[in-house]
């Protein structure tokens, strides 16, 4: 008996396997620019690390190192309290 009589001719070919390119290695902006401190008063720089809805972006999205990500998080929270940045998105 023919095992393939009930199968479609392209049954296994419908799923195309795509190879994933390795992610581009991001370099921490603060390390690269030799910026020692993250200033909470620099609202324009901190806006890059906040999503539209007001959430702080994670490290994998910002490309910062762990040390500077912690500093940015603290600076954003301070800037929110000082009303330099909104708590929620606009």
Q: Which of 39, 49, 47 is nearest to 75 (CA)?
A: 39
Q: Tens digit of pLDDT for each residue in 1-22?
A: 566 666 666 555 556 777 887 7
Model confidence, pTM: 0.70
The predicted structure's pLDDT at residue 78: 96
Q: Give residue 29's Cα distance to chain centre.
A: 14
Kindly indicate the confidence band of residue 89, based on its pLDDT and cuts at 50, 70 and 90. confident
Q: Tens digit of pLDDT for each residue in 19-74?
A: 887 777 778 899 999 988 899 999 999 999 999 999 999 999 999 999 999 999 99
Burial class (CB in 10 A: 0-12, 13-18, 19+), 72: buried
């Amino acid at each position: 008996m023919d095992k393939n009589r009930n199968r479609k001719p392209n049954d296994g070919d419908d799923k195309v396997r795509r190879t994933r390119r390795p992610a581009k290695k991001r370099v921490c902006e603060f390390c690269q620019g030799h910026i020692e401190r993250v200033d909470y008063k620099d609202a324009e720089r901190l806006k890059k690390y906040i999503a539209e809805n007001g959430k702080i972006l994670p490290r994998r999205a910002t490309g910062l190192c762990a040390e500077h990500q912690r500093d940015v998080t603290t600076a954003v929270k301070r800037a929110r309290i000082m009303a330099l940045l909104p708590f929620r998105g606009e």
